[in-house]
C-alpha cells in the first residue's frame, strides 16, 4: 500500500505525461498552465487510497483519479472567473494571464478532457454515474455560493448544505470511485462515501477557521482575507446568528464600509467573533465532522490495518488545526 | 421509419419531459429557458435517422440524441457569452436575461446533463469516445474562430478547418452515434461520418451564403448581419483572397469604419463580392460538399430505399439555397 506522499508523486507524474501541446495554443496552453500550477492532489490521492483499501491495484483507478483532478481544476478555473479572483496558488489566474473568453473555453475543454479520463475507468457505468451526479452537485453548490453572496440572512444550515455540495461531495465521490474500481460492496461504498462527506465538511470548515485563526506560515495565505472580502464563511454566519443588536450593527458597519484599514477591520470583526466564542464553536463543529468521518471509516468491512494509510492521511488533515 | 418532422416531435416531447424544475433556480431556470427556446433539432434528428437506417429501434438512441442536443445548446450558450451576442433565436441570450456568471455556470451544468444522457447509451464506451472527441474538437473550433477574429490573413483552408471543427464534426458524430447504437459496421460508421462532415460543411457555408444572399423571409434573420459585424465568413475571406489592391483598400475602408449606414456598407461590400463572383464560388463549393455527402450516403451498405429518409432530409437542407 502507498501513502499520500507516494501517491502524490504518482499523480504528478501522470499529470506531467498529459499531452497538452496541442493546437490551438490559446485553448491548450491555459489547461497546461492550470495543471502545472499544482495543488495538494487530495482528491486523486483519496481515490487511489480507496482502491488499495479494498485490495485492488491502484493503477486500475489511475485514469479516473486523473479525471477527478482535472475536473477539480476546471471548477477552480471557472470559479475564478465568476469570483473575479486574480490569483490562484500564488500565480495569476487564467482569466488574468489570458482573458475571460479563453478561460471560459479552456475550462470547457478541461471538463471534456476530465470525462475522457473517466471514460477509461474500469466499471465505467457506475463510475460515470457517480462522477456526473457529483459534477452537477458542484455546480449547484457554486450557484448557492454566488446566490448567498447577494442574500442577507443565510442560515448555518443553508451554508453547510452549500459547502457539502461545493466541496464535500467531490471528496466523497473520489473515495467511492476508488471503491467501485475495487468492486467494494454497496455497503462499503456507502461507508466510504460517509467518511468522505464528513472529511470534506471538516476540511472546508477548517479552511474558514484557518483564514481567520490560522498561523500565516502554516496556512500559506494572509490571515483575515475572508473578513476583508466580506466573505460569508461559517464564522460570519454563525456570528450573525448569535450576535446581539449592538454586535449586528457593528458587523454591518464594517461590512458596509467601503474604505477601511484592513488590520483594523480584521481586528474589529475578530473581536466580535471572540466575544461570541466563534473559534470554539467552529472547532467543535469541525471535531464533530472528523469524529463522524472516523466512525464511518471504522465501519468499513476491511481489516483494521488496511485502514492505516487513510487514517494517517485523515489525521494529517485534521491536525492542521488542533 | 420516421421522417424529420416525426422525429422532431419525438425529440421535443423528450426534451419537454426533462426534469429541470430543480434548485437552485438560478442554475436550472436558464437551462430550461435554453432548451425551451427550441431550434431545428437537426443533430438529434440525424442521430435517430442513422439508428433506423441500420435497422435498430430509434428508442435505443433517444437518450444519446437528447444528450447531443443538450450539448449543442450548451455550446451556443457559452458561445453567446464569448461573442457578446445579445439575442439567440429571437430571445435575449442567457447572459442578458440573467448575467454572465449564471450563463457560465448553467452552461457547465448543461454539459454535465448532456453527459448524463450520453451515459444511458447502448454501446456506451464507443459512443462516449466519439462524443468526448467531438466535444473537444468543438472547443478547438470555437477557439480558432475567436483567434481568427483577431487575425489578418485567415486563409480559406484555415477557415474551412475551423468550421469543420466547430460545426461539421457534431453533425457527423450525431450520425455515427446513431450508427454505433445500431451496431453498424466500422466501414459504414466511416461512410456515415463522411456523409455528416460534408453535410455539415455545406450547411455552415450555406449559412454564410444566406446571411448575405438569402431571402429574409426564408432565412429568418436580417440579411447582411455578417457584413455589418465584420464577421470573417467564407465570403469575406474568399473575397480578400481574390481582390485586387483597389478592392482590398475598399474592403479595409469599410471594415475599419466605426460609424456607417448599415445599408450602405452592406451594399458596398456586396458590390465587391458581385464583381468577384463570390456568390457563384460559394454556391459551387456548397454544391461540391453536398455531392460528396451524396456519394458517401450512396456507399453505405444498406438497401437503397432505407436511405430515402436521410436523402429527403438532406435535400430539404440542400434546397434552402438552390
pLDDT per position as a tens digit, B15-47: 999 989 999 999 999 999 999 998 999 999 999
| pLDDT at B174 > cutoff 90 | yes
Separation in Å, CA of A108 to nearest CA in chain B: 7
Test B119 with A101 for CB contact under 8 angstroms.
Answer: no
Q: Chain B within 8 Å of A60 (Cβ-Cβ)?
A: no
Q: Are B314 and B293 in contact (CB under 8 A)?
A: yes
Which of A109, A112, A143 is facing B26, going by the closest CB pair?
A143
pLDDT in tens, B283-298: 999 999 999 999 999 9
Strand partners, A91: A88
Three-state SS for B92? strand
pLDDT in tens, B140-157: 999 999 999 999 889 999
Between CA B87 and CA B76 the distance in angstroms is 11
Confidence band for A219, pLDDT divided at 50, 70 and 90: low
pLDDT the model gives residue A127: 98
Test B26 with A147 for CB contact under 8 angstroms.
Answer: yes
Q: Are B89 and A112 in contact (CB under 8 A)?
A: no
A-chain CB neighbours of B129 within 8 Å are 119
Any idea what DSSP says for residue A61?
G
CA B214 to chain CA mean position, Å: 18
Phi first, then psi: give them for residue B23, nearest 5 degrees: -110, 150
Between CA B36 and CA B29 the distance in angstroms is 10
pLDDT in tens, A174-202: 999 999 999 999 999 999 999 999 999 99
Confidence band for A319, pLDDT divided at 50, 70 and 90: confident
pLDDT in tens, A89-124: 999 999 999 999 999 999 999 999 999 999 999 999
Test A143 with B105 for CB contact under 8 angstroms.
Answer: yes
Test B146 with A112 for CB contact under 8 angstroms.
Answer: no
pLDDT the model gives residue B146: 96
pLDDT the model gives residue B319: 78
Test A81 with B102 for CB contact under 8 angstroms.
Answer: no
Confidence band for A321, pLDDT divided at 50, 70 and 90: low
Q: Are B131 and B91 in contact (CB under 8 A)?
A: no
Between CA A89 and CA A95 the distance in angstroms is 14
pLDDT the model gives residue B152: 86
Confidence band for B239, pLDDT divided at 50, 70 and 90: very high
Amino acid at each position: 500500500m502507498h501513502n499520500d506522499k507516494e501517491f502524490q508523486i504518482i499523480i504528478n507524474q501522470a499529470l506531467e505525461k498529459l499531452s497538452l501541446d496541442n493546437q490551438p495554443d490559446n485553448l491548450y496552453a491555459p489547461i497546461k498552465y492550470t495543471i502545472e500550477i499544482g495543488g495538494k492532489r487530495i482528491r486523486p490521492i483519496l481515490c487511489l487510497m480507496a482502491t488499495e483499501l479494498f485490495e485492488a491495484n491502484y493503477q486500475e483507478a489511475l485514469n479516473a483519479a486523473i479525471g477527478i483532478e482535472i475536473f477539480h481544476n476546471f471548477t477552480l478555473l471557472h470559479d475564478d472567473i465568476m469570483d473575479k479572483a486574480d490569483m490562484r496558488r500564488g500565480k495569476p489566474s487564467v482569466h488574468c494571464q489570458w482573458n475571460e473568453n479563453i478561460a471560459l473555453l479552456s475550462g470547457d475543454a478541461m471538463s471534456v478532457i476530465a470525462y475522457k479520463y473517466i471514460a477509461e475507468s474500469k466499471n465505467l457505468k457506475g463510475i460515470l454515474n457517480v462522477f456526473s451526479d457529483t459534477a452537477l452537485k458542484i455546480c449547484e453548490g457554486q450557484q448557492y455560493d454566488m446566490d448567498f453572496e447577494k442574500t442577507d440572512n443565510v442560515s448555518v444550515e443553508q451554508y453547510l448544505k452549500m459547502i457539502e455540495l461545493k466541496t464535500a461531495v467531490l471528496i466523497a465521490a473520489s473515495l467511492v470511485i476508488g471503491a467501485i474500481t475495487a468492486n467494494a460492496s454497496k455497503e462499503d461504498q456507502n461507508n466510504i462515501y460517509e467518511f468522505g462527506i464528513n472529511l470534506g465538511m471538516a476540511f472546508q470548515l477548517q479552511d474558514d477557521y484557518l483564514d481567520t485563526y490560522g498561523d500565516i506560515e502554516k496556512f500559506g495565505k494572509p490571515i483575515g482575507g475572508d473578513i476583508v472580502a466580506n466573505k460569508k464563511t461559517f464564522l460570519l454566519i454563525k456570528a450573525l446568528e448569535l450576535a446581539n443588536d449592538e454586535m449586528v450593527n457593528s458587523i454591518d458597519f464594517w461590512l458596509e464600509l467601503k474604505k477601511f484599514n484592513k488590520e483594523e477591520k480584521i481586528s474589529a470583526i475578530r473581536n466580535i467573533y471572540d466575544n461570541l466564542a466563534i473559534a470554539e464553536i467552529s472547532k467543535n463543529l469541525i471535531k464533530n465532522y472528523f469524529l463522524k468521518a472516523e466512525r464511518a471509516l471504522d465501519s468499513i468491512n476491511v481489516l483494521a490495518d488496511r485502514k492505516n494509510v487513510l487514517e494517517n492521511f485523515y489525521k494529517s488533515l485534521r491536525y492542521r488545526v488542533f
